């Protein structure tokens, strides 16, 4: 660990022209940049006191470097690294609790702080990605969308298309609704699609949704059924571009 720290510090002193102080060039991702991400976390939480202390300590470490006291500076960096790890551990617990308690609003608030190091562990990353995809209808995160779309082999590894999620709303579903026969082809930017999904939810109509621009399945269905716009609905062998609740109900 000491050798690694000395190596990083050496590289730090050699680096320049970064968008953050050069003394943090290599340590910047886990330390200096982390401070910016931590400040985006929801306030008044278990980690909040540590985040406030971290912000002060990283500023102090910078002052020590400028003062020329290298020994005190290196010591401050080691302490800062420990504080960083403690905060990350606490935030991971908070994310896990948000998933366990089905608190999607809090889950998104933490995720949108954009702390990349949280997703280094494969099992934890899968837990977060899957929970997000299952609840994406309630609100999207541009940060998680970008991360998931960049995840090569996600469909093969986790058994689902990264641009696909199913929503099954129905308080008293009919026999036909249980079959989940409605297929919705949409896009992330389509306002009518969002209104249509809200309407389907209100009427207890279950559906399977595919992203027509980023999902291979969605693209294929759009081409097969010759969709002319978004949303496009498919029920059995029939399709319709646009939204008509009566058209859908007649075919269920």
Domain CATH for 190: 3.40.30.10
Judgement on whether residues 55 and 157 belong to the same structural domain of the protein? yes
CA distances from 178 to 77, 92, 112, 165, 247 (A): 58, 36, 35, 17, 18
Span between the terminal Cα atoms of the chain, in Å: 63
What mean pLDDT is reported for the chain? Answer: 78
Answer yes or no: are the C-beta atoms of 225 and 233 closer than 8 Å.
no
Give the model confidence (pLDDT) of 168-203 as tens digits. Answer: 433 333 444 444 589 999 988 888 899 999 999 888
Is the pLDDT at 102 greater than 60, yes or no?
yes
Evaluate if residue 99 carries a pLDDT over 90: yes
Q: Is the pLDDT of residue 244 over 60?
A: yes
Q: Based on the domain organization, do 149 and 177 belong to the same domain?
A: no
Same domain for 144 and 128: yes
Residues 137-166, mean pLDDT to the nearest whole number: 65
Asked if residue 5 has pLDDT above 70, the reply is no
Residue at which a domain ends, from 130, 162, 194? 162
- Given the structure tokens 């982390």, which residue do they identify? 34
Q: Token pair 């990605």 is at which residue?
A: 129
Domain of residue 217: give its range. 164-250
Asked if 148 and 206 sit in the same domain, the reply is: no
Q: Are residues 154 and 239 in the same domain?
A: no
Q: Which domain-ending residue is among 128, 162, 196? A: 162
68: Cβ contacts below 8 Å, ≥ 6 apart: none
Asked if 71 and 44 sit in the same domain, the reply is: yes
Q: Are residues 169 and 156 in the same domain?
A: no
Mean per-residue pLDDT, 127-147? 85
Looking at the structure of the chain, the number of domains it has is 2
Is pTM beyond 0.85 here?
no
Q: Looking up tokens 């968008």, which residue turns up?
A: 19
pLDDT tier at 31 (50, 70, 90 boundaries)?
confident
Q: Report the pLDDT value the prediction gives residue 7, as an integer from 0 to 100.
A: 45
Listed range (69-73, 160-164, 230-234) with the worst mean pLDDT: 160-164
**Is residue 101 very low, low, confident or very high in pLDDT (cuts 50, 70, 90)?**
very high
C-alpha–C-alpha distance, residues 128 and 124, integer Å: 6
Half-sphere CA count of 121, side-chain side, radius 13 A: 8
Does the pLDDT value for residue 94 go beyond 70? Answer: yes
If you ran DSSP here, which 8-state letter would residue 1 be given? -
Q: Higher model confidence: residue 154 or residue 210?
A: 210
Q: Residue 68's pLDDT band (boundaries 50, 70, 90)?
A: confident
Q: Which of 111, 146, 162 is a domain's end point? A: 162
Asked whether residue 4 falls in the same domain as residue 34, the answer is yes
| Range in 58-62, 184-188, 220-224, 234-238 the model is least confident about | 58-62
Residues 174 and 137 in one domain: no
The model's confidence at residue 30, banded by pLDDT at 50, 70 and 90, is low
Q: Are residues 158 and 169 in the same domain?
A: no
Task: Give the distance between the most distant pair of CA atoms in the chain.
Answer: 77
**229-238: pLDDT as tens digits:** 889 999 988 8
Over the stretch 106-116, which tens digit does the pLDDT of each residue have? 999 999 999 99
Does residue 106 share a domain with residue 33? yes
Can you say how many angstroms the Cα of residue 103 is from the centroid of all Cα atoms in its chain?
A: 15
Of the two residues 51 and 139, the one the predictor is more confident about is 51
Strand partners, 138: none
């Amino acid at each position: 660990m000491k050798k690694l720290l000395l190596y990083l510090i050496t590289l730090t002193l050699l680096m320049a022209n970064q968008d953050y102080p050069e003394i943090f060039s290599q340590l910047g991702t886990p330390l200096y940049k982390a401070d910016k991400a931590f400040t985006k976390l929801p306030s008044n939480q278990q980690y909040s006191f540590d985040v406030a202390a971290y912000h002060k300590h990283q500023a102090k470490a910078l002052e020590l470097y400028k003062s020329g006291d290298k020994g005190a500076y290196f010591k401050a960096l080691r302490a800062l690294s420990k504080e960083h790890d403690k905060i990350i551990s606490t935030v991971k617990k908070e994310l896990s609790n948000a998933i366990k308690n089905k608190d999607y609003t809090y889950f998104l608030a933490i995720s949108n702080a954009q702390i990349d190091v949280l997703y280094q562990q494969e099992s934890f990353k899968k837990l977060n990605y899957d929970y997000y995809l299952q609840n994406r209808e309630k609100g999207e995160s541009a940060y998680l969308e970008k991360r998931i779309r960049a995840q090569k082999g996600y469909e093969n590894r986790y058994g689902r298309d990264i641009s696909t999620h199913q929503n099954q709303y129905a308080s008293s579903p009919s026999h036909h609704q249980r079959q989940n026969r409605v297929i919705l082809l949409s896009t992330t930017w389509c306002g009518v699609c969002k209104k249509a999904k809200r309407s389907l939810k209100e009427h207890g109509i279950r559906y399977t949704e595919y992203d027509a621009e980023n999902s291979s399945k969605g693209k294929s269905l759009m081409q097969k059924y010759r969709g002319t716009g978004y949303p496009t609905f498919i029920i059995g062998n029939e399709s319709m571009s646009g939204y008509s609740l009566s058209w859908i109900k007649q075919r269920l």
